[in-house]
Amino acid sequence: MGLIAFFLVTLFVYFWLPVRGGLKTFLLVLIMVSGWLSIFELVSILEARPWVIAPILIIVGSGIWKVQRDRKRELKKSV
């Protein structure tokens, strides 16, 4: 979890704080490396607890379904 937190902190610093020059390049490299390694950390968390992903997928799927349904209704109203 520490690697994910490090990735999020460096991402926050890179995008929202005024950093210039070489430090910005160094932060970008740190973001790329820690982001890549965070993917493996997330996969290992999901392998250890597969039930964690189910509610997330249900929420994301419900959101996508609602957006598509609203778009179809909007298209029917405009035609």
- How many CB atoms sit inside 10 A of residue 34's CB? 20
DSSP string, 27-63: HHHHHHHHHHHHHHHHHHHHHH-GGGHHHHHHHHHHH
Burial of 35 (0-12, 13-18, 19+ CB in 10 A): middle
**CA 21 from centroid of its chain's CA atoms:** 26
List, for residues 47-66, the tens digit of each pLDDT value: 888 787 888 889 999 999 99
List, for residues 13-41, the tens digit of each pLDDT value: 888 888 888 888 888 888 888 888 888 88
The reported pTM is 0.53
